[in-house]
Amino acid sequence: MRLLRKKLAKQYQTVSDTSRQQIERRPYIVPLLGLVLGFIIVAGILAGHKGITKPSDAHVVFLTDKGDRTVLDTKAATVGELLDKLNLNLLAEDVIEPSRETPIPEDNFRINIYRARPVTVIDSGNKMVTLTAQKSARVVAQKAGLSLQPEDVANFTPGSLAENIIGEKVVVSRATEVRLNLYGAALTTYTQAKNVGDLLKEKKIDLAEGETVQPSQATAITPNMEVFVLRKDAKLVNVEETIPVPEEIVNDGTLSFGTTVVRQSGAPGKKTVTYLIQADSAGNELARTAIHETVTTAAVPQITARGSAVAVTGDRTSLMAAASIASSDYNYVNYIVSRESSWRTNAAGSPPGAYGLCQAYPGSKMSTAGADWQTNPVTQLRWCSGYAQSRYGGWAGAYNFWSSNHYW
C-alpha cells in the first residue's frame, strides 16, 4: 500500500512539473482556459433559463385597486382585456387609468383603479347625491348634470352629521353675472369678485390716466349690475323720455267689417335712458349711444276692436269674381268701394275728375283695363285690383292704408 502511494505521488509530481514547464513555455494558455470556462458558465445559465415558465410575450403589471398593489404576469394585450380576465366587479362609474383601450407594451406597466363613492353635490342650497370616482370637484359637479361657467368654482369638503352628509361633498360657488360696458362695448361676464375694484383686477382691466369706472371701485357686486369703464373723453347721462302709446287690435265678429271701436284708451309711459356721450377735448358732444333704459312708468295700450262680420251682397261677389279677385279679398274690396263710391259705376267725386267704383283719378286711367271703363263695373274692378297690387302689395295692404288715412 505504501509502495502504491509513493508511486502515485511520484507520478503526480512528474505531471505537475511537466505542466509547469508547459505553462512557462506557453503563457497564453491560462487566459485561454479562463475564456473557455466563462463560455461554459454562460451557456449553463442560458440553458437553465429554458425551464422558466413565463412566456416571452407576457408582461409584468402593477395593478393598484382600493389602495392595494398587486403584481401580475399577463399575456393580455390591453388594459381592458386584463381587467375582464380578473373579474373585479367594476362599476360604470369606476375610473380606470389608463383607459381600457390602452395597450400593455412592456414590463412594469402600471394600472390604477379608482372606485366610485357617493358624493353630495351642493349648488345654491340644492343637494344631489352622485356616485363618482372622479378626483376633480368640477368634473364631479358636471357629471352630476350641472352646467358651469368658467368662473364658477367647485371644491371638495368633508361632510358632517349636522348637514346629514356622510362622506365627501362638492360645494359649487356660482359666479355673479355682471353687465360690463367697456368703452361703449356691452359685455356679459361672470365674476367671483366682491366689489368693482376686484372685478377690474380679475378681468385685468387697468384704468389709464383720465379713465373712470362707474359705480365706484368700492361698490359691492350684485347680480346683473352694470359696470361702466369710460375713457377720459366719455361720460354717462340719463335722459327721461316718453314711451309711445302701444296699440292692440282685436277682431270682433259682432261688428261690421271695417268698423272700429276703442275699447281701452291708451296712455304714454316714461323711461330713463342712459346715454354714453363721446366728447372732444373741449367738451363738445360728438356722439351719443343709448346703452341702457329703465321703464319708470309703463305705457297703457290702446285696445281697438275691429269688426270682422262679412256683409257682402251676392251681386257684389259676382262682380268681384268676374274681375278675378280672390274671395279672401272680398271684404277689403267691399270696404274700400263702399266708402269711395257706394258701388256706383258712374260715381264722380272729389277732386273733379275722380270717377268710378274706386274713384280712379283721373277716371280715364281705367281705359288700360278696357274700352268700356266708363260703364262696366268688372272692367273698373280689374283696374282697381291692379292699382291695389302695384301700390300696396294687394287689397289687404290697401285696406290697412285706407283705414288709417281714409283715402287710397
Beta bridge partners of 218: none
Confidence at residue 362, expressed as pLDDT on a 0 to 100 scale: 94
The single-letter DSSP state of residue 396 is H
CA 370 to chain centre: 62
More confident residue, 43 or 148: 148
What DSSP element (H or E) covers 197? Answer: helix 196-202
C-alpha 359/C-alpha 408 separation (Å) is 9
Closest CA to 289 of 213, 183, 188: 183
User: Residue 183 phi/psi, 5° resolution?
Assistant: 55, 35
What are the grid coordinates assigned to 248, written together? 292692440
Confidence at residue 25, expressed as pLDDT on a 0 to 100 scale: 61
Q: Is the dihedral of CA 20, 24, 25, 26 positive or negative?
A: positive
C-alpha 25/C-alpha 394 separation (Å) is 131
C-alpha 236/C-alpha 201 separation (Å) is 23
SS3 96: strand
Confidence band for 52, pLDDT divided at 50, 70 and 90: very low
Confidence band for 19, pLDDT divided at 50, 70 and 90: low
Confidence at residue 208, expressed as pLDDT on a 0 to 100 scale: 84
What DSSP element (H or E) covers 110? Answer: strand 109-114
pTM above 0.95, yes or no: no
C-alpha 341/C-alpha 362 separation (Å) is 15
Has residue 31 got a pLDDT over 70? Answer: no
Give the model confidence (pLDDT) of 295-325 as tens digits: 889 999 999 998 877 677 788 999 999 999 9
The most confident of 44-53, 54-63, 103-112, 254-263, by mean pLDDT: 103-112
What are the grid coordinates assigned to 293, written together? 333704459
The most confident of 25-39, 63-77, 182-196, by mean pLDDT: 63-77
Confidence at residue 312, expressed as pLDDT on a 0 to 100 scale: 78
Q: Is 332 left (phi over 0), alpha (psi -120 to 50) or beta?
A: alpha
> What average pLDDT does the segment 38-42 reach?
66
How many CB atoms are closer than 10 A to CB 133? 18
Give the model confidence (pLDDT) of 67-104 as tens digits: 899 999 999 999 999 999 998 999 999 999 999 999 99
Confidence band for 209, pLDDT divided at 50, 70 and 90: confident
Q: At what angle are helices 330-341 and 314-322 packed, to 10 degrees?
A: 110
> How many Cα atoms are found within 13 Å in the side-chain-facing hemisphere of 372?
7
Q: What is the DSSP string of 102-132?
A: -B--SSSEEEEEE--EEEEEEETTEEEEEEE
Mean pLDDT of the chain: 87
Q: Of 65-69, 150-154, 289-293, which gets the smallest average pLDDT?
A: 289-293
Number of H helices, E strands in the chain: 9, 18
What are the grid coordinates assigned to 323, written together? 274681375
- State the alpha helices, DSSP H only, in 87-151: 137-143
